[in-house]
Chain A
Amino acid sequence: MAELMTDIPVGTGEPKAFYVPLAIRTVKNLRTCLRWAWLDIVCHYRRSRIGPLWETINVLVMVLGLSVVSSAVIGGDVSDLIGYIGLGIIIWTTISALILEGMTTFVRNAGLITTSNVSIDCYVGRTVFRTLIVFCHHIVLYFLGLALLLVPLSWTSLLSLVGIALLFINGYWVGVVLAFLCARFRDLELIIRNLLQLAFFITPVFWKADLVVSSKRAIVDYNVLFYFIEIIRAPLLGQVPPFTYYAVAVGCTIVGYIIAVLVYQRMRRQLAFFVA
């Protein structure tokens, strides 16, 4: 047993004493992660003429396109659909970024992981915060929608903050688990990429959940991703999401972090070998 692991408590030997320092360190490092993510974004835009606007424009184009297609295929007025679809796309983009970027975190940072002893949760935090910053770019479109009266404004909207917090808190553990697994099993990345594409179509992002025939409701009822979308989208559209959605999200958080700790414990020491 190595006595020194920069981010595994040294020499305590007692596994029960391991979780608390791990959690404390991870939380303490969050501020650093945010700064690192911010620097990433700043550097990224430095060489682009309109910088941050690109993020917003990309999503805007996607939203307009899908709204038109959706109203043409499923029916309904574009101005009725656009709020629902727009928020759906914004949230979906975030979910997919959390998964896609999260799973490649360690592979992308291989050079740093094998040469420095920066505590590894910094890499995960960096990815999650970067996604959060990009999300903030996209949410500008929501305010644009408010100004154009495409989405209603009410006190219920504030409830979405809870949903956003839950989404990113879950994004962190997903990042930890996937980053480790994808560093070790490189095929996984390709499989997840594929599945995520499929998930976009079976999740009610740009179509309404009540359109599904009752015999096939399962694809919505058991779709956790839909729950995460709804706890953000529904309040912003002035509806209070069912309590079960929150319960499921909180359940995911708890189970997720347990899995993350187990994966960390099992794979942390080998990480440099996985990415070397």
Chain B
Amino acid sequence: MTLVRLTNVNVRIPIYDSHALRLIRLPAFGRAKVGTQAISHSGAVLIIHALNSLNLELHDGDRVCLIGHNGAGKTTLLRVLAGIYPASTGKVEVVGKVFALLGNSMMMNPDATGCETIKLVANLFHWPEERMAEFIRDIEEFTELGEYLSLPTRVYSAGMQTRLAFAMATVQTPDILLIDEGIGAGDAHFQEKAQARVQQFISRAKIIVLASHSIQLCRAMCSKALILNKGTQDFFGDIEEGLDRYAQLRDGPA
């Protein structure tokens, strides 16, 4: 069984900067459309209220896209689900093997070649040794990177990195797959392949959480939408309803 359950989760991000308090002179966070609701401080440490009393329950087969303005808390939420950020209060329950595909996190060493990166990732994430050959073949096929796999990953374009990272993230179906916007860097052909792969996985009943600004991508990959607005949950439900609601939110007053 795969499950994600957040109960009344608050995330406060401390900013450790010896001059942090100077920042607080910035005016009127309340009026800003972008960013979070509040910034407070405790002593010399600034605290961003990144997520506020979030409640969420995801089950097998849920494909959710996170939508919201920049700074609304999408990435923060993904990091909480990945176990990178702790919740300040509230309860985070995640049952299942999580794979986080955030940023270019899979490029463990920019000087290593694609093949070396695959082997390293295999090690770091404990892929079964006996299936390695099969995995590598699968990744080669999916990424279509050809001889580029023998070149250092630092020479890859963003799209190529995305291909490799996505292939590695999905070669073994993870229980919970978290994807940040980076996936949008792939071309149309890649997007199709990625969608097909995601469809495959869903038939095996898994959870996907995708943060993206591309309405198209959200529609193609997800069945549900979670709208975040300044760190609070604005809407959670059917994707079409969500997209309508987001359009209103975007055009309407802040």
Interface residues of A (CB under 8 A from B): 1-6, 10-11, 31-32, 35-36, 39-40, 43-44, 46-47, 111-118, 122, 184, 269-270, 272-274, 276
Contact = CB atoms under 8 A, between A and B. Distances in A.
B82 A36 contact: no
Interface in B191-242: none
Nearest to A1: B91
A119 B29 CA distance: 36
Interface in B61-98: 79-87, 91-94, 98
Interface residues of B, number: 35
Contacts of A270: 14, 86
A2 B103 CA distance: 23
Contacts of B81: 4
A3 B94 contact: yes
B98 to A, nearest CB: 6
Contacts of A273: 13-14, 16, 85
Given A2-B92, A272-B85, A274-B16, A36 B100 contact: no
Contact of B100 (A2, A31, A44, A117): A117
A117 B82 contact: yes
A40 B85 contact: no
A57 B189 CA distance: 51
Contacts of B16: 184, 273-274
B48 to A, nearest CB: 10
Interface in B31-51: none
A4 B82 CA distance: 8
B150 interface: no
The 5 nearest A-B residue pairs measured at CB: A115-B105, A43-B111, A116-B105, A4-B94, A269-B86
A44 B14 CA distance: 35
Contacts of B125: 118
A111 B104 CA distance: 9
B120 interface: yes
Contacts of B100: 115-117
A117 B86 contact: no
